[in-house]
Amino acid sequence: REKNLVNDVHLYYYQGCWIPDLICSGVFSSERNFMARDDDIILSSCPKSGTTWLKALLFSIVNRTYLFALADNNPLLKANPHELVPFIYHSQSLNIETIPPPRLLATHLLYDLLPPSIKTSSCKIVYVSRNPMDQFISLWHFSCKLKGAEAEPHHLEECFDRFCRGIHAFGPFWDHVLGYWKASLERPHKILFLKYEELKKDTATNIKKLAEFLELPFSEDEEKQGVVEEILTLCSLENLKNLAANKNGTTRTGFPNSAYFRKGEVGDWKNFLTASMVERMEKIMKEKFGKYNFSFES
């Protein structure tokens, strides 16, 4: 048991993963009881890798045939993406059995801890990863925001040290990333491995890649009609951040919806990390990722 970075809640070390106490019972129950269906789509990520963005993109891609016709009633304009694509471990408080197919569900669990039916069924997994330095800075801001504007911010150096030791929600980071990376190489039709940096660089190409992976490719007509660009704009940080649904209210975990939208930049770590922090993180990345020929842009 360890104190968490976020919200001072505790983390429990369970089978190689630090799990926040808020969701422990949901995790254990979903591990035992969740039955994946062949047409489920599961989004997985380490927190602060772009989960909310991917939830919005997946929801739009899957529902695009009717979404834009709904105009102002488009669910993404009325609800936070976490409401539309729930986490599996909230299944106790929401009846995921009644969600019409294809079910869009999410998890922050390590690959090794996924409920077995996710691996044995034909469901698809989309994983989004992010450079750990930006991810850490995003997590630090998130945790400070939860503390409140008036409160003393969390100590950056102390939080960084814990992150480097793998002690953060759903950490260690490198085990998270490598678990899905290795699995995606073995099962490329089942697991699509994405990087936040690449999504930012060329969102349209990645939207098409996602649709093809889900076996829902865009038709020529859709491309001509600009559906990809419509999805890109609908799910942009600027658009989502300024919607009333995302400015107000809280997620099922009890965190403010607004805390999930900040800068959305690549390389924001340069504004916060010292040279020695960067050196430490680069050394870890080299040690952990080097032998797998895996790296992040920095």
Footprint of ligand A3P (CB under 6 A): 45, 47-53, 134, 138, 141, 235-237, 240, 260-264, 268
Judged by beta carbon, residue 30 or residue 257, the one nearer ligand A3P is 257
Burial class (CB in 10 A: 0-12, 13-18, 19+), 15: exposed
Shortest gap between Cβ of 213 and ligand A3P (angstroms)? 19
Shortest gap between Cβ of 126 and ligand A3P (angstroms)? 13
Decide: 42 and 50 in contact? Cβ < 8 Å.
no
Judged by beta carbon, residue 30 or residue 138, the one nearer ligand A3P is 138
CA distances from 222 to 60, 77, 216, 227 (A): 13, 21, 12, 6
d(CA 284, CA 272): 18
Shortest gap between Cβ of 135 and ligand A3P (angstroms)? 8
Shortest gap between Cβ of 112 and ligand A3P (angstroms)? 20
Say whether 108 is catalytic.
yes
Of 10, 82, 90, 108, which one is the catalytic site residue? 108
Through-space distance between the first and last CA atoms of the chain, rounded to whole angstroms? 32
Which residue reads 């079910």 in tokens? 103
Which residue reads 């491309």 in tokens? 223
d(CA 93, CA 206): 33
Residues catalogued as catalytic = 108
